[in-house]
Amino acid sequence: MRKLVLAASIAVLALAGPASAQAPIVIKFSHVVASDTPKGKAAEKFKELAEKYTDGKVKVEVYPNSTLYKDKEELEALQLGAVQMLAPSNSKFGPIGVREFEVFDLPYILPDLATLRKVTDGPLGAKLLKLLEPKGMTGLAYWDNGFKQMSANKKLVTPADYKGLKFRIQSSKVLEAQFRALGSIPQVMAFGEVYQALQTGVVDGQENTWSNIYTQKMHEVQKYATVTNHGYIGYVVVVNKKFWDGLPADIRGQLDKAMKEATAFGNGQSAKENDEALAEIKKSGKTEIITLTPEQDAAMRKAMDPVYKDVANRVGQPLIDEFIKETGGVSH
């Protein structure tokens, strides 16, 4: 009987031989937001297309909502090869020594997504991605989320309303300077910890896109949100460079195609998703949404303008100038 079982398993192994020699290449894709967000959906689309185009030779495992790693840890995990792919926001590359992506954080630097595309799809976008290579990462794409709004338990209408309030920020010195310009106290915190920090009063407010606010239920613990559109959150899809370079060329080509299509899909619907999230927040009745008059909006812009000078050394004035030139924007 034993012999039979042994023979049977050998037969099974022999049958499985060629297949097991080609066990799928696994891409662990870790991210910090909910699946039902612009980034979450683009990641799922990439998984679907990558597995389809490689005919199952690649398996993509998506881990959303900080289930594997929080912000800083996920970048370290990518560099170590514990995961293969991430899409951190532009604001999160400073701690690994690439501060240039913080240029995207400058207040009011982008009037709309079409203008953003001029940068990400142009030579500056490509140049920025190259900066990741010495850090062991290859930048594959820019994914959108959208424009940030302010929230707090206090009405935020004029710059003076921000004075003395504690705001959670992503790990970007530009964002730190932005809140300092408003007289607030910025506090760097991982995305996965924001809801609790707002709920317990560790911080008074935060800035984020409607889709992030809604899917993390921040609106349930913030009495007010102000439509400011003062900044942008977008992502750089990064892959471990050694892993990427070591892939067979045909597989890399198929993954590139999947990434291009997932990017077009995700970027094509991010604005709609943020609009829908805002509608849901309004429907919940838990947060009062404040809209600014043109005069109030102008006062916010003026209050944040000194940030450009404050961070010129960190981000690099030539980079700021190049960015503004590509967007056709106004110099500060």
Contacts to ligand LMR by CB under 6 A: 32-33, 39, 89, 145, 170, 191, 208, 212, 233
Query: Which stretch of DSSP H or E encloses residue 188?
Result: strand 185-188
User: Closest distance between ligand LMR and the C-beta of residue 71, in Å?
Assistant: 6
Closer to ligand LMR by Cβ: residue 84 or 149: 149
Closer to ligand LMR by Cβ: residue 149 or 254: 149
SS3 content of the chain, % helix, strand, coil (to 5): 55, 20, 25
Rg of the chain (C-alpha set): 22
| Residue matched to tokens 């170590």 | 80
Q: Could you give the CA distance from residue 210 to residue 177 in angstroms, rounded to a whole number?
A: 23
Closer to ligand LMR by Cβ: residue 169 or 247: 169
User: Closest distance between ligand LMR and the C-beta of residue 225, in Å?
Assistant: 14
Closer to ligand LMR by Cβ: residue 174 or 233: 233
User: Closest distance between ligand LMR and the C-beta of residue 330, in Å?
Assistant: 27
User: Closest distance between ligand LMR and the C-beta of residue 229, in Å?
Assistant: 16
State the CB neighbour count (10 A cutoff) for residue 302.
10
Q: Could you give the CA distance from residue 194 to residue 215 in angstroms, rounded to a whole number?
A: 12
User: Closest distance between ligand LMR and the C-beta of residue 152, in Å?
Assistant: 15
Closer to ligand LMR by Cβ: residue 30 or 54: 30
Q: What CA dihedral angle connects 243, 245, 247 and 249, to 10 degrees? A: 160
Q: Which residues contact 72 (CB under 8 A, 6 or more apart)?
A: 92, 95, 171, 190
Closer to ligand LMR by Cβ: residue 51 or 102: 102
Backbone angles phi and psi of 24, in degrees to 5: -60, 150
Closer to ligand LMR by Cβ: residue 272 or 302: 272
Phi-psi region at 55: left, alpha or beta (left = phi > 0; alpha = psi -120 to 50)? left
- Asked if residues 106 and 230 have their Cβ atoms less than 8 Å apart, the reply is no
User: Closest distance between ligand LMR and the C-beta of residue 264, in Å?
Assistant: 19
User: Closest distance between ligand LMR and the C-beta of residue 149, in Å?
Assistant: 12
Backbone angles phi and psi of 49, in degrees to 5: -75, -40
Q: Which residues contact 14 (CB under 8 A, 6 or more apart)?
A: none
Q: Which amino acid is at 267?
A: N
Closer to ligand LMR by Cβ: residue 104 or 191: 191
Q: Could you give the CA distance from residue 281 to residue 320 in angstroms, rounded to a whole number?
A: 35
User: Closest distance between ligand LMR and the C-beta of residue 289, in Å?
Assistant: 19
Picking from 316, 308, 315, 311, the residue whose alpha carbon sits closest to that of residue 332 is 308
| Residue matched to tokens 């045909």 | 250
User: Closest distance between ligand LMR and the C-beta of residue 212, in Å?
Assistant: 5
What is the SS3 assignment for 20-78? HHCCCEEEEEECCCCCCCHHHHHHHHHHHHHHHHCCCCEEEEEECCCCCCCHHHHHHHH
Closer to ligand LMR by Cβ: residue 177 or 189: 189
